[in-house]
Amino acid sequence: MFEKSLYDLIRGLRSHKGNERAYMLECLKECRNEVRSQDLDTKAAAILKLVYLEMFGHDMSWASFHVLEVMSSPKFMQKRVGYLAATQSFTTETDVLMLTTNLIKKDLSSPYPPETALAINGTSHIASPSLARDLSPDLLSKLSHTSPQIRKKAVLVLYKCFLQSPELLRTSWPRLRECLNDEDGSVVSATVNIVCELARRNPRNYLPLAPQLFRLLTDRENNWMTIKLIKLFATLTPLEPRLIKKLIPPITNLIMTTPAMSLLYECINGLISGGLLAGIQETDEGEELASVCVTKLRGFLVEGDSNLKYVGLLALTKLVATHAHLVSIHQDVILDCIDDADISIRYRALELVVGMVNSDSLSGVVGRLIRQLKPNAKRTEEEFVEPEVTGDESEDEDMEEEVMHPWRIRGEIVPLELPEEYRRAVITSIVEMCSRDMYANVGDFEWYLDVLIQLVRYAPPASASSSGDEGDEVEEEGQGECEGQDVGEDIGKELRNVAVRVRSVRGEAVRYAEMLVGKREGMFPVAGGGGRRVLGAAGWIVGEYASLLTEPNETLLALLRSPSPTLPADILAIYIQAVPKIYAVLAGAENAPWTPPRKSTVALLTSKIIKFLEPLAISPNLEVQERAVEFLELFRLAGEAVAEQPTTAEDADEQYDAPLLVTQAIPGMFLGLELNPVAPRAQRKVPLPAGLDLDEPINPYLHQLLLESEQDSHFTGEDEDDGFREWYYQKAIPKQANIPASLGIDNAVSKNLSAVASYQSGDMREEDYLDKDILERRKRERQERNRDDPFYIGGAVVSGGDEEVDLDSIPVMKLELGDVNIPTTPQPQPSTSQLKKKREKVVIAADEGIGNEDESLIEETIEKSKRKPRKGLLQVDSSGLMGYSLDEPSDSATGQEEDVKAARKEVERFRAEMERAAERVKARASTEEPKEKKKKKKKKGEGGDGERKKKKKTGDAGGGIGRQAKKKLKKNKEDQKEATEA
């Protein structure tokens, strides 16, 4: 009978296009019959075909016993097929795995090296805890094999055994350590690799290897082993700081001399992650080494390769925490990476820029980032660069260009479309770098408020959600938390924070909030609904600081406008709270006469507020409903009081005051101490009042009252189906948000920006990233502020006209230069940094708290650090090696160690007591034997002297035996002491 080979199966699969599944099922049926054959060649061919079909998703676990039969074949080719199938289909739960122990032992002891290597490779894939324990002696014996390839494979497979059975590490470590001195470099490299992986879990075990590892580092046999050694020392230096001075010279030599970019990066990364640079940070040597590292990393950014750019930015991000001043020197090339076409590089550059920004570079960096958020319609022509087109490019090069750079189309200018997640990350980063360290980098808060308003206009859609690989990439890079959120909430928090903390610009912040509330249609993007969460903070500001409003009447009407009830519930609740505050400012003036025009105005405002609150009194949201019901009753009383209070006529002698409910009661609800910022952890330090029981119900009869009200309503037959139940119980269908037009930037903008407006020169103009209305308003305010300043030359120009200027009336002062000593040598001119205008000191309110806030911050940091350890890229679970000691049992915790020590001492004490008791019994028995012998020799008639002699001899015998017992007891104590010390 002719059986199909693997090649026949592949040819048949290609010839059955469109009907592959039926063909594979037919082949599986044939394989089931072939594996039952007694011919090992046929069986091996069937197993090989099953291995191929298993890669298409067809399970072959049913053939595990047949795989075992092929593994036991004496022919090497068949044995190799069996091991291949075992590595692909066997798991730790496979039933026949226990039958492979003797088979693998036999293959490991084979004199044929390929069979031994095959068994070692198979063990690395199918090792289970029991299999690892059974095979560990055989694997350890292979560490002294004559073939270096076998020794290398044995070293590597031991790591898999350690993962399955960590207790093997203690017994195998002496033999494994000897492999560091092996004569073959590949064996040494494999051993270093294993030690590096083991040290990631418990580096303290491998500190004694430091001299041996340092010798290997200085020998530099190959770059890959050097990289592993640097990583290994990076885990050891935090435990032994004295290694820092020893490692600095060889690593510095590697950085200065190596041409390999991979080794260069690992050397710099090892210096950073191992704490070597931080350990010598305050020394001249440390500053020089850090400067060399930053200069080398700059080469990564200008190299042009995307991979080098990425790892270079990654290393600079780690380095900026300790040497931000050195990183900021190379900010020109770092900012060029912000405009890179690769979105992952943009993320890393954005993270780096946030860490390195300072007060001098803040405005330029923010302007550079806001330019990326500009819609395409608002971008100038110079921001788009047409890609170069060459005529000698082949079709393959064109296809590669389209795959690698999809934003480029030959002959056309197509800007790169920025993902919504990246746009959110840009806005969040701008807010973060401006608000860092209590606004330490912000010198002009009016400029900061303008930036916040500009960010509101460029906010991405709030309902955007990423999908596919791009979203996964974002989450891996730590930007996933921005997904699905409205950045308007972060902008609103900053707007409110500035209004509360910075008194000097509080009026400006109130005007911005007033503009957001009153002109909300023109302040936000046309589509997408992005940035509208800022209305919550704007509503709070206009209510809390209502006395600073320029147009309180217009602001109140804007809050009462019809679109307001469609806002989110939390924002609507803030609006409801802000309405009576502004009403108190408008109607609560006590000194103003109560005239008919004022009465009509207050009555009109009161009726509008009542009309606004009435539908909200039955809102499904409890917070909105509660506030609306409370203020609705209050304003109904105010409306009645206003209607009943007579007015004062113009010529009348009798004067009437406004209702006290309007002038005193309502304003008195919101007057009092000013709200100050409170530390976020201050609330947890407030002690609970004595006798407070939060579990006790406020009204124990509430349930009974609700039942009675329902019964009364049902009895009266009131019709409740008036649309309220439908509104309350049926979920509203959300309107689908329109995605805005593509927003992007071209790849070559960075080059144009560097040529036109250099970042380092500080020439980033506000016209490049702020809208025209904001620029015009800032110009008007600046002219108004400098109108009376005689030193300001930018004021209005005086026209000549017909009026002549009297030149003789201009006073002239004579300069006396006779007594002035003119120096002969030129004086040094002040530098540009000395001529720089000093920053205006702005008072920023600090947080109020109880006690020491640093303790709570430390506790919170400790809680965040207690996280589940992440798995590696290969998803290898090495948690069993965490904290495993080579000297003590791995499963003994601190408390268990103390219990074990106490138990050992107790056992030793009992053992010593038993030994002493045995010695006493032995001594007593030895003293009684001479007495019995003496009695036999004694005569009946003897007495007197004979009796005294007997006692004397007995005493001598007892004293000799006692001395022997003392010697033995002393010896036992010494042995016990030595055992305890050991």
- Over 116-142, what HEC string results? HHHHHHHHHHHCCHHHHHHHHHHHHHH
973 pLDDT band (50/70/90 cuts)?
low
Q: Average pLDDT, stretch 528-547?
A: 86
930 pLDDT band (50/70/90 cuts)?
low
Does residue 621 fall inside a structural domain?
yes
What's the rounded Cα separation, in Å, for the pair 606 and 642? Answer: 9
What's the angle, vertex CA 73, arms to CA 71 and CA 74, rounded to 5? 130
Read off the amino acid at residue 807: L
Position 941 scores a pLDDT of 46
3-state secondary structure of 60: coil
pTM (2 d.p.): 0.67
What's the rounded Cα separation, in Å, for the pair 359 and 557? Answer: 40
Contacts of 666 by beta carbon, 8 Å cutoff, 6+ apart: 580, 583, 584, 587, 588, 634, 638
982 is written with which tokens?
């050991």
503 with 541: CB under 8 angstroms?
Answer: no
Which tops the pLDDT comparison, 342 or 736?
A: 342
Which tops the pLDDT comparison, 703 or 621?
A: 621
What's the rounded Cα separation, in Å, for the pair 48 and 42? Answer: 10
Highest average pLDDT, of 57-71, 815-829, 946-960, comes from 57-71
Which tops the pLDDT comparison, 856 or 769?
A: 769
Beta bridge pairs of residue 678? 848
Q: Closest by alpha carbon to 448, among 430, 460, 463, 461?
A: 430
Q: Average pLDDT, stretch 606-620?
A: 92
Does residue 602 fall inside a structural domain?
yes
What's the rounded Cα separation, in Å, for the pair 205 and 198? Answer: 9
772 with 410: CB under 8 angstroms?
Answer: no
Highest average pLDDT, of 317-331, 648-662, 882-896, comes from 317-331
- Mean pLDDT, the chain, whole residue set: 76
* CB-side neighbour CA atoms (13 Å) of 965: 19
Buried b (16+ CB within 10 A) or exposed e, 33-55: ebbeeeebebbbbbbbbbbbbbe
Range of the domain at 589: 580-647+657-681
746 pLDDT band (50/70/90 cuts)?
very low
Position 682 scores a pLDDT of 81
158 with 135: CB under 8 angstroms?
Answer: no
Does residue 774 fall inside a structural domain?
no
Poorest-pLDDT segment among 87-91, 569-573, 632-636, 976-980: 976-980
DSSP line for 654-720 = S--PPPHIIIIIHHHTT-SSPP--B-TTSGGGSPPPTT--TTS-S-TTHHHHHHHHHHHHHHHT---
Which tops the pLDDT comparison, 700 or 741?
A: 700
Share of the chain above pLDDT 70, in %: 69
3-state secondary structure of 412: strand
Contacts of 100 by beta carbon, 8 Å cutoff, 6+ apart: 68, 71, 86, 126, 131
Does residue 675 fall inside a structural domain?
yes
168 is written with which tokens?
């093997």
750 pLDDT band (50/70/90 cuts)?
very low
Does residue 664 fall inside a structural domain?
yes
What's the rounded Cα separation, in Å, for the pair 19 and 6? Answer: 19
Dihedral Cα 264, 266, 267, 272, nearest 10 deg: 130
Q: Average pLDDT, stretch 507-513?
A: 92
What's the rounded Cα separation, in Å, for the pair 101 and 696? Answer: 66
Give the torsion sign (CA, 167, 168, 169, 174): positive
963 pLDDT band (50/70/90 cuts)?
low
Beta strand spans in 604-655 (E)? none
Does residue 589 fall inside a structural domain?
yes
609 is written with which tokens?
């507020």
Q: Closest by alpha carbon to 341, among 292, 385, 290, 389?
A: 385
| 742, pLDDT greater than 90 | no
What's the rounded Cα separation, in Å, for the pair 36 and 62? Answer: 12
Crossing angle (nearest 10°) for helices 210-219 and 243-257:
20
687 with 670: CB under 8 angstroms?
Answer: no
Poorest-pLDDT segment among 197-206, 243-252, 376-385: 376-385
Position 478 scores a pLDDT of 41
| 209, pLDDT greater than 50 | yes
How many domains would you assign to the chain?
A: 1
Position 856 scores a pLDDT of 52
How would you classify residue 883: left for phi > 0, otherwise alpha for psi between -120 and 50, otherwise beta? left
At residue 279, φ and ψ (nearest 5 deg) are -70, -30
Which tops the pLDDT comparison, 604 or 855?
A: 604
* Element at 592 (helix H, strand E): none
What's the angle, vertex CA 504, arms to CA 500 and CA 508, rounded to 5? 80
| 279, pLDDT greater than 70 | yes
Q: Average pLDDT, stretch 342-353?
A: 92
384 pLDDT band (50/70/90 cuts)?
very low
Contacts of 655 by beta carbon, 8 Å cutoff, 6+ apart: 593, 648
Q: Closest by alpha carbon to 583, among 553, 607, 610?
A: 553
What's the rounded Cα separation, in Å, for the pair 355 and 314? Answer: 12
Dihedral Cα 498, 504, 510, 512, nearest 10 deg: -70
Instruction: Give per-residue pLDDT as tens, 568-602.
Output: 899 999 999 999 999 999 888 777 888 888 889 99
Work out whether strand 744-745 and strand 416-417 pair parallel, antiparallel, or are unpaired.
Answer: antiparallel
Position 827 scores a pLDDT of 46
Position 377 scores a pLDDT of 47
What's the angle, vertex CA 281, arms to CA 295 and CA 361, rounded to 5? 55
Read off the amino acid at residue 580: P
533 with 486: CB under 8 angstroms?
Answer: yes
211 is written with which tokens?
């001299």
Position 700 scores a pLDDT of 83
Burial of 834 (C-beta count, 10 Å sphere; 0-12/13-18/19+): exposed
Does residue 238 fall inside a structural domain?
no
Position 277 scores a pLDDT of 83
Contacts of 357 by beta carbon, 8 Å cutoff, 6+ apart: 328, 365, 433, 441
What's the rounded Cα separation, in Å, for the pair 194 and 552? Answer: 73
Does residue 448 fall inside a structural domain?
no
